[in-house]
Structure 1
Amino acid sequence: MAESSYIGDVRLSSSATRIKPGEPLELDLWFKVDGYIRKALNQQNWTDAYNKHDTTFLIKYVVRVQTGSVKKRDVLEPVKFIRKASFYWSRNPKLPPPPPNKKIWALIVVDDSPKFPDNAEEVKSLLLDVRYSVELMGSNIHKGAQKLVAHISVSWGKHLFTEPVEIEATSNEIEIVCE
């Protein structure tokens, strides 16, 4: 594995720049996992993994929102969530042509709801592209101008097509004024 995986296109935004202690603030975080793992998730690798009884691929995401000051402090409990790909034998005629005599496909579980993607790019998007929203109360932030930043950690275990990996990234800082 000469190429590595990384977290890219990380953006943090907020619904407002000024809030009062009792008001909610919505934070939106976007990012995507790119590099080797995105290329390794393809139908040939799913078929090989399925034939060796490696039928489940889990990705664990951890998001921490902290103040961007010298003394960093969490303004929310760390948010943990998992996305899962299950490889299965399909009879769906709409799927792209398989390798000879095989039609192994991926079912993706996002936020406890199963998704049946129609193509490999949609599988990668559902599994590796993340848009996460969280609500923060103004009382969780000290009065005055505060800079917030999101720290992201992504990990997965060893599979036929990848080694165990843990990657991290940090978002842009946003400034919130709590009155």
Structure 2
Amino acid sequence: MDENESRISALTLGGAQERPMNEKLYMLTLSFSIEGFIRQVLTQKNWEKAYNKHDNSLRLTIKLDIKNNGRIIESIKLIRKAIFFWTRNPKIDHRIWIMIVKDDTPFYPLEEEEARQLLFDFNRDIEIKPEALKKGKNNIAVFVELSWGKHEFIEKNTLKKESNIQQIEKD
């Protein structure tokens, strides 16, 4: 593996269970991490260099295609952002720091590793409506496509990977 390569790792789809609501929804949990070069270069030193050159944010676009027996039944688009900013927080020893926006909620990590975990580690519940399933066995998988643009410390890239299959039985 190339040291300048990034990859999706630990991609797992699990936990097929029913959840009682107005109608039965099937719940699955998708989790994965982004490893490799992009994770290694997200350091305070690099985001300060980027900030000084007016490169103030890193945006990850995540597209999830939920498939039933190979056919897409739903697509979900997620955005994660790392925003670099000038700080005067006395708990932080640096002039330029990072804010992570995850699911429209801002997070202010106090450590570099915490910032990497917030930005690059994913854990999401996926609801599947009963009408998206046929009677009998349904093989559910999620195709993940993740991309980011060119920045001061990393080139533009797209990563793709498909999860394992979870089987859901519908009466």
TM-score, normalization by structure 2: 0.92
CA–CA distance in 1 between the matches of 2:132 and 2:109?
Answer: 39
1: CA distance, partners of 2:25 / 2:3: 45
Alignment of 1:21-100 (within 5 A): 22-67=23-68, 69=69, 72-76=70-74, 78-95=75-92, 97-98=93-94
- Offset of residue 75 of structure 1: 2.2
Aligned identity (percent) is 34
Matches within 5 A, 1:133-148: 133-148=125-140
Shift of 1:153: 0.6
Shift of 1:63: 0.6
Match of 1:120 in 2: 112
Aligned equivalents of 2:52 and 2:84: distance in 1? 10
How far apart, in 2, do the equivalents of 1:106 and 1:149 lie? 34
Ranges in structure 2 where 5+ consecutive residues have no aligned partner = none
Q: CA RMSD in A?
A: 1.6
- The secondary structure found in structure 1 opposite 2:118 is helix
> How many pairs does the alignment contain?
167
Following superposition, the deviation at residue 2 of structure 1 comes to: 4.5
2:29 and 2:52 map into 1 onto residues whose CA distance is 39
Uncovered stretches (5+) of structure 1, i.e. residues with no partner: none
Aligned to 1:133, the other structure's residue is in SS state: strand
Number of the residue aligned with 2:160: 168
Larger RCO: Structure 1 or Structure 2 (Cα < 8 Å, ≥ 6 residues apart)?
Answer: 1
CA distance in 2: counterparts of 1:64 and 1:32, whole angstroms: 17
Counterpart CA distance in 2 for 1:16 and 1:160 is: 44
